[in-house]
Chains A and B, each alone.
Chain A
Amino acid sequence: MRGRLDRHLTPYLFVAPFFVLFAVFGAYPLLATLWMSLHDWHLINGDGGFIGLANYSDLFADPDFWNALVNTLSLFVISTVPQLFIALGLAALLNTKLRGRTFWRAGVLVPNVVSVVAVALVFAQVFGRDFGIVNWLLGLVGLDPIDWPADVWSSHLAIAAIVTWRWTGYNALIYLAAMQAVPNDLYESARLDGASTWKAFWTVTVPMIRPTILFTTVVSTIGGLQLFAEPLLFESKGASTGTGGSDRQYQTITMYLYEKGFTLFDAGSAATIAWVLFLIVALFALINFAVVRRTVASR
């Protein structure tokens, strides 16, 4: 009797903490946000009346929203894709017999722990127009200095560099953890079949860590579509409005939300953006599952 109760009840007790806490601190705010998005809601003054889907129709009619969406997708693609491939390669390197393994492994994680304040300052120096390191290097090969934040392509490139720099090591460690669980005999038989290291990597390692690749892709997609800290850091201190440059050239959806909610105090519109973003992320995650499963499986 006790055993049956244990078998039936305990699983629910195991998953209960997650669901209870999530219901209060995750689902409730989300539903409240949905409620806010149906109202004319001022950040300070609060509810200004129910307006139905007006916030949504306004948002879809707003070219700034589409601009932010395109920017987000562009930044997502040029930062996430290279980042995951580099991380995979880096993990493979770290998975070889190395002297001072811990040292190398700790090293690649450093970008993720350095305070964003320091990151902002360092990259201001790296991408500075007048005295920046990148422009200095361009000067060496005879190219004109670039005003990195000024244009769409240059600002996206610079921000993607920051994102890639910050998150590659993190993903590499996740891959590494997965690679270490790959049974060695699979490599031995691959070697007996005459496969090169390169080929073994693609025929053994990648298929074996497929769930992890799926995992990082989903997590990176979710993170990438919510990109906020890095582009905001790219704005100079005097103009931290979330606008993303003089022509919104690098404003992401989350920055747009920040601008609406905390610069213009329009919480109703901000809540609307939050919900639309949620739906976009959900859509992408589903596509992700499908695509990654198929491509990795076909290997």
Chain B
Amino acid sequence: MAAGGVFARRGVRLAAGLVAGALALTGCGGGDESGGEGEKITLTVATFSDFGYEPLVKDYMAAHPNVTIKLRVTEFDQHHKQLATRLGAGAGAADIEAVEEGYLPQFRQSKDKFVNLADFGAKDLAKQWLPWKWEQSLADGGNFVMGLGTDMGGLALCYRSDLFKAAGLPVERDQVSALWTGWDEYFAVGDRFVASGSKAKWFDGVGNIYQAMMNQTPYGYFDTADAYVGDSNPAVKTAFDKVAAVANKPGMSAKLDPFSQQWNVGFKQGTFATLPCPSWMLGLIKDGSGPENAGKWDIAKIPGNGGNWGGSFLTVPKQGKHAEEAYELAKFLTSPDAEAKIFQNVGSLPSQPETLKNPAVLGFKNEYFSNAPVGEIYAKSGETLQPNYRGTRDADVRPVFGRALARVEQGKQAPADAWTQALTEAGKALGK
């Protein structure tokens, strides 16, 4: 439990004692809230964006009068970095902490800081989720349940039908989906689009395309035994080469960093025609493009296989005082019933087969995206997708390859050099 070594711990105590003494004189000091047995308790739920929990939490509190629930929302990166600091310090984390899929492997390395939800019988719930989503939450060969799955991010391809029309490409979503099966065809259509003389570029930037491709592979930089294979896995090299080949090709990439301010401007200005879009990205596209672009976006099938990008898990840090109550709440917030309600409230795609068959989910259409049947599109992609295994140290390596492609995109390096440098950097990051 102790976060520091003996010395560090003792040092903290000593320093703390000094200050506490000084503060006793001045009459300041922190209160220590501790509740006895059967008393009223407060549970805190920390997330990084609107998980749509507010109405659910009200219901829960009405049914459990002894429980008060506080929602804590912080910005995405800060949320995870803050969680890491607080786990390290052994205090300050919420009773329930959301962890996003991309961050999960890093936290899995520190599973001792989390409650094994299997202790409360989480394994009995396994069938609630799509098998791959359940698997993602496991550690220690399936004996340790890190968290309960919330949403997921099935992949699709968003495109600007007006730009397609101007370029002489099909506009109907089924016809567009029929334009490609794999990425090679997708880039070939891109060539046609560029040849039409459109001022817009074919896609937003290499970051998103590469991310989507990697999410379609069964495993990337690490094999399922968690050994580093970034330098030998043909899937990585193939994806890298394909993206690198078009990264600096005229007309192809708008060369925008995903989620940057310039990327937002790109939506509004229509500077690119397509981008891979997991379900949670639809809100960003809509808000970025603004009302004047309503009805111009549509959604087609993603080139290649189905894949998942994003989605989170509710974990229970060990440092909390009410682990069992926290688990009960997490169970409630991830129940099929709750997931259906959340989908209707904020549009997060459920990760549970039962909810995906729910007519309210299946029949949902998105008006902004030319009335695309998003419920059906994403529900289908969710059922058929191949999950991507992420190694424990995935986060140490993944950005290295992303940066390599960015160098190619910026015209600073040839693809082969970027690849070589990436391998060197990845090896270094892993301490080889």
Residues of A within 8 A of B (CB): 20, 24, 28, 31-32, 35-36, 39, 42-47, 62, 120-121, 124-125, 128-131, 147, 150-151, 236-241, 243, 246-247, 262-265, 267
Contacts and interface: CB of A to CB of B under 8 A. Distances in A.
A37 B12 CA distance: 17
Contact of A45 (B112, B257, B396): B112
A265 B265 contact: no
A243 B2 contact: no
B406 A246 contact: yes
B257 A238 contact: yes
> By CB atoms of chain A within 10 A, which of B207, B259, B261, B406 has the most?
B261
A201 to B, nearest CB: 42
Contacts of B18: 20, 24
Contacts of B106: 265
Contacts of B242: none
Given A32-B12, A150-B412, A246-B410, 17 more contacts: A24-B18, A24-B19, A35-B11, A42-B88, A43-B88, A44-B107, A125-B261, A128-B261, A130-B271, A131-B262, A131-B265, A236-B257, A238-B207, A239-B399, A239-B402, A263-B395, A264-B429
Contacts of B237: none
**How many of chain B's residues touch chain A, expressed as a range?**
35 or more
A32 B11 contact: yes
A124 B87 contact: no
B3 interface: yes
Given A45-B112, A236-B257, A243-B403, A130 B262 contact: yes
A241 B94 CA distance: 24
B260 interface: yes
Contact of A124 (B84, B85, B262): B262
> By CB atoms of chain B within 10 A, which of A20, A39, A44 has the most?
A44
A124 B110 CA distance: 37
Nearest to B429: A264
Given A240-B77, A262-B81, A247 B11 contact: no
Nearest to A63: B428
B38 interface: no
Contacts of B175: none
B261 A237 contact: yes
A245 B4 CA distance: 33
Contacts of A125: 261
Given A20-B22, A32-B8, A36-B8, A43 B262 contact: no
A246 B407 contact: yes
Contact of A265 (B4, B84, B428): B84
Given A247-B412, A264-B396, A238 B260 contact: yes
B234 interface: no
18 contacts: A24-B18, A35-B11, A39-B5, A42-B88, A44-B88, A44-B107, A124-B262, A128-B261, A129-B255, A130-B265, A130-B271, A236-B260, A236-B263, A238-B260, A239-B257, A239-B402, A246-B406, A247-B412
Nearest to A147: B410
Interface in B35-90: 77, 81, 84-85, 87-88
Contacts of A237: 259-261
Contact of A236 (B4, B109, B112, B261): B261
B258 interface: yes
A263 B402 CA distance: 15
Contact of B110 (A28, A44, A131, A267): A44
Contacts of B262: 124, 128-131, 236
Contacts of A121: 261
A296 to B, nearest CB: 40
B188 interface: no
B84 A241 contact: no
Given A31-B11, A32-B11, A46-B88, A236 B269 contact: no
Contacts of A62: 428
Nearest to B113: A44
Contacts of A239: 257, 399, 402
A44 B84 contact: yes
A150 B84 contact: no
Contacts of A130: 262, 265-266, 269, 271
A198 to B, nearest CB: 43
B7 A35 contact: yes
Contacts of B266: 130
Contact of A47 (B4, B113, B396, B412): B4
A267 B88 contact: yes
Nearest to A248: B403
B126 interface: no
Contacts of A20: 18, 22
B271 to A, nearest CB: 7
Contacts of B113: 44-45
A45 B4 CA distance: 9
Given A46-B3, A124-B262, A264-B396, A150 B15 contact: no
A120 B410 CA distance: 22
B261 A43 contact: no
B312 to A, nearest CB: 17
Contacts of B5: 35, 39, 46-47
B15 A236 contact: no
Top 3 closest pairs, chain A to chain B, by CB:
A236-B260, A238-B259, A246-B406
A32 B10 CA distance: 11
B15 A28 contact: yes
A155 B429 CA distance: 25
A43 B85 contact: yes
Interface string B103-147: 000110110110000000000000000000000000000000000
